[in-house]
Chain A
Amino acid sequence: MDEVRTLSAQLAQDPHSLVFLRLGELLRQKRQLDAAARVATLGLERHSHLADAHDLYARILSDKHDYERAFDEWDMTLRIAPTHTGALKGLAFLYFKVGDLAQAQAHLAAAKRATPDDPSIDQALALLRTAAVTPAAARGDNERPAEPAAIAERVEPLPEAQVFAGLEGAQEGLLLLDAAGLVLGGALRSPAGENVTDAVAAYLAGVSQEAARTAKLLNLGSWRGLSAEGGHGHVHLTQPTPESLLLVVRDRAVPLGRLAVLGNRAAQAARRWLERQ
């Protein structure tokens, strides 16, 4: 409740702030759906063109089983932000619920294009494929689509230890650190198979600050990534958030440019994971 109180106080202090998004979501997760709906509608009054606000309200309505209005809110979200992953997954859930598997699949495919490394979309697509080949009667659900527990946000969140679940090299070539060089997730192994996570993390502490100072000195704006080519492998560093640092390590067969792409995907996964913490 402390976080609810803190966020409520922040919102009371600055009613125009976007903190209502976090507060509404927190209340939704705590199943205080009426309070969450009040927060979301008040937020929408002030931010009627904010896609995330419509998405939040849609999730709350969906949890309240008000699917028709949830559909409208997700539809509005997509009018504002056509590739909004949350809205695409939400609409996929609603289409699945009424048995329109083709539309559900189309929306999930669009979500996948917008966020290629979101493992929950792959799980939902797999569920859809199962539903498509299993007649309703055989599923024993009396013509009603199965409750789509794995669709949209109903997909179980990733376990905390699996920050990079589904990404290549999650436990041997991806590492997420905080600003002090402490490991938040992932792991690194040397080519010989030795666990080198802690040693590498310790040496990388402070790199973010130095990269930022260098970029500032040169008037280059913010730094986006640091790619390095070694004698036996390549590394790429990026900042998923201002307080974290992500390292991707691969052998020399993976070109530096591709490593940057892998790094950006891993950074998206890390951001989502950090937001959930």
Chain B
Amino acid sequence: MSTTPAFAKALDRVTRVRGVRGAMVVSGDDGLVVAEQVMEGIRGSALAALAASLAHRLRRAMEAAGVGTSVFWHLHCDNGALLVVPAATGVLLVVVAEAEVNVGLVRLELLKAAEALP
């Protein structure tokens, strides 16, 4: 998978946060991997498809509820978390993290990284 410098920079930024196991840029429309720095043992393509599908459902539900489009979302699990920021360009910045990660810090870095994307 080729990674453009802008995407690589965005992924570097978020994967530097302690507790982040990996990150990827996903096309929000079709759920394909655009760029990734994902940990071993994870099927990036499957994760990208699921993250995009969840993002799509959430976006529709949130728009219907009148709370606007999703800025950031966080799937809390027993042993870790999935954190996602949709960027203005239509891609999703996706992070897989350990349970003890500083979610607030990852959120900030994701939002900054998303802003910096072309």
Per the bound structure, the CA–CA distance linking A174 and B25 in Å amounts to: 33
From residue 19 to 67 of chain B, which have CB atoms closer than 8 A to chain A?
41-43, 46-47, 50-51, 53-54, 57-58, 60-62, 64-67
Encoded as 1 (CB less than 8 Å from any B CB) or 0, chain A from 218 to 231 comes to 11111111111111
Query: Could you mark each residue 67-94 of chain B with 1 if its beta carbon is under 8 Å from any beta carbon of chain A, else 0?
Result: 1111111111111111000000000000
Report B44 CB to chain A, min CB distance, Å: 10
Closest A-chain residue to B71, C-beta based? A229
- Which of A24-32, A37-45, A186-194 is the contact stretch? A186-194
Residue in chain B with minimal CB distance to A249? B65
- Is the CB–CB distance between B73 and A228 below 8 Å? yes
Contact present for A214 and B74 (CB under 8 Å): no
* Number of residues on chain A facing chain B (CB within 8 A): 41
B43, B68, B81: which contacts A231 (Cβ < 8 A)? B68
- Of B42, B62, B66, B81, most buried by chain A (CB within 10 Å of CB) is B66
Which residues of A lie under 8 Å from residue B57 when comparing CB positions?
Answer: 203-204, 206-207, 210
Interface check B96, CB cutoff 8 A: yes
In contact, A220 and B66 (Cβ under 8 angstroms)? no
Known: A190-B66, A204-B61. A221 touches B78 (CB 8 A): yes
A224 to B82, CA, bound (A): 12
**Mask: chain A, 245-277; 1 = CB below 8 Å from B; 0 = not:** 001010100001000100000000000000000
With a cutoff of 8 Å between Cβ atoms, the chain A residues found around residue B47 in the complex are 214, 217-218
In the complex, chain A residues whose CB is within 8 Å of the CB of B80: 218, 220-221
Specify which of B42, B46, B72 is in contact with A229 (CB 8 Å cutoff): B72
Give the size range of B's interface with the partner. 20 to 34
Closest to A213 in B: B50
Number of A-B contacts (CB under 8 A): 124
Q: Is the CB of A218 within 8 A of B61?
A: no
Q: How far is the CB of A209 from chain B (nearest CB, A)?
A: 10
Give Cα A231 to B73, complex, Å. Answer: 12
Residue of B nearest to A228 (CB): B73
A82 to B80, CA, bound (A): 31
- The reply to whether B53 and A210 contact each other, CB–CB distance below 8 Å, is yes
- Tell me which of B41, B68, B72, B73 contacts A233 (CB under 8 A): B68
Chain A interface SS verdict (over half): mixed
- What are the residues of chain B within 8 A of A213 when measuring CB–CB? 50
Q: Which chain A residue shows the least CB distance to B39?
A: A218
In the complex, the answer to whether B62 meets A219 with C-beta atoms within 8 Å is: no
Contact A217 B46 (CB under 8 A): yes
Contact status of A223 and B75, CB under 8 A, knowing A203-B60, A211-B54, A217-B43:
yes
Residues from chain B with a CB closer than 8 A to the CB of A47 are none
In the assembled complex, A200 has its CB within 8 A of some CB on chain B: yes
Binary CB contact string for chain A from 196 to 209 against chain B (1 if under 8 A, 0 otherwise): 10011001101100
Say yes or no: B67 contacts A230, CB within 8 Å. Answer: yes
A223 touches B70 (CB 8 A): no
Chain A residue nearest in CB terms to B83: A227
Interchain Cβ contacts under 8 Å between A and B, 15 examples: A191-B67, A203-B64, A211-B75, A219-B41, A220-B77, A220-B79, A220-B80, A223-B76, A227-B73, A228-B72, A229-B70, A233-B62, A235-B61, A249-B65, A249-B67
